[in-house]
Amino acid sequence: MGARALPSAPGRQLGYTDDVQEYPSLVWHLKNTKLFEDLSAVELEELSRITPYKRFAQGEIIYHMEDPADALYFIREGMVKISMYFPNGKEMILGLLGQYDIFGELLLLESERRPNQAEAVIDTTLIVMPESDFQRLLQQQPRIAMKFIQVMSTRLWQAQQWQAEVGAFDAPGRLANLLLRLAKDFGAPGERGTVIDLNLTQQDLAKMIGATRETVSHCLARLLEYGAVRRRRAPITVNVEALQRFLDEASE
């Protein structure tokens, strides 16, 4: 049975820049995105016509809270911070996303408004799929619809797990757990341990664990004394095994 035709390319009218043509190709990046990994070469080629690139400079806002939910994003290269802001002006960092991650997936909510904010942590290139094209794609490609459900389910599970861990650990435990996650997702081997080269400030870490900067400073000092942290200023260097031991002891 032949492949179904993908949506045509009305997404170009949104004015996204799509002048990023260097190797690897857009088709290659789409193939390495979990949502589209099962598509054929022909389907990927058709999909590439409605998913232009868009570049964002470090610190540039991709979308604000309450902006129209008009597109789904895939990270070709770079890093994106997802946050929520509260009426008192406080920011809660919900997560950091890297290459091949998907975000903006809540565009299918009935409110049609963004419940969070996305910001480029470093210079970032995104693959952009307009919401109307994505809706049609889900209807035409059941495989992608199922993959999308898996993505949404994984995000829900991760949010529930993090909420449980926030309730189970004190501030040092929450920070150790966060550093362990960051080391596994973004860390690179270094002379003194695993380097988390994300240019995160202590204030950033505080926003990710629901604490104050002063509390994070004390927690880092404690983890440094324990041997779980080798360098507490960016780029933070950690000992992954010691972080895990610290968490195991905190759970007893």
Q: Cβ(193)–Cβ(186) under 8 Å?
A: no
Query: How does DSSP assign 82-107, residue by residue?
Result: EEEE-TTS-EEEEEEE-TT-EE-GGG
Which range marks the domain in which residue 152 is found? 10-165
Q: What is the CATH number of the domain that holds 58?
A: 2.60.120.10
On whether the CB atoms of residues 95 and 186 are closer than 8 A, the answer is: no
pLDDT value of residue 190:
92
pLDDT for residue 111? 67
Helix, strand, coil fractions of the chain, as percent rounded to 5? 45, 20, 35
Domain boundary among 141, 165, 189: 165
Contact, 133 vs 11, CB < 8 A? yes
d(CA 251, CA 164): 13
| Same-domain pairing of 148 and 44 | yes
Query: pTM of the full predicted structure?
Result: 0.77
- The tens-digit pLDDT sequence of the chain (252 residues) is 333 334 333 333 333 444 444 445 778 778 877 788 877 888 888 888 778 889 999 999 999 999 998 899 999 899 999 999 998 888 999 889 988 888 988 776 666 789 899 999 999 999 998 888 888 888 888 888 888 888 888 878 877 777 777 667 899 999 999 999 999 989 999 999 999 998 889 999 999 998 999 999 999 999 999 999 999 888 999 999 999 999 999 877
Give residue 118's Cα distance to chain centre.
9
Could you please report the per-residue DSSP string of 119-182? EESSSEEEEEEEHHHHHHHHHH-HHHHHHHHHHHHHHHHHHHHHHHHHHHS-HHHHHHHHHHHH
For the chain, the domain total comes to: 2
User: Is 204:121 a contact under the CB 8 Å cutoff?
Assistant: no
Last residue in a domain, options 129, 145, 165? 165
Query: Would 2 be classed as within a structural domain?
Result: no
Confidence at residue 109, expressed as pLDDT on a 0 to 100 scale: 67
The CATH number that applies at residue 234 is 1.10.10.10
Given this model, what pLDDT does residue 156 score? Answer: 80
Q: What is the pLDDT of residue 205?
A: 94
If we measure between CA atoms, which residue out of 166, 158, 183, 190 comes closest to residue 243? Answer: 183
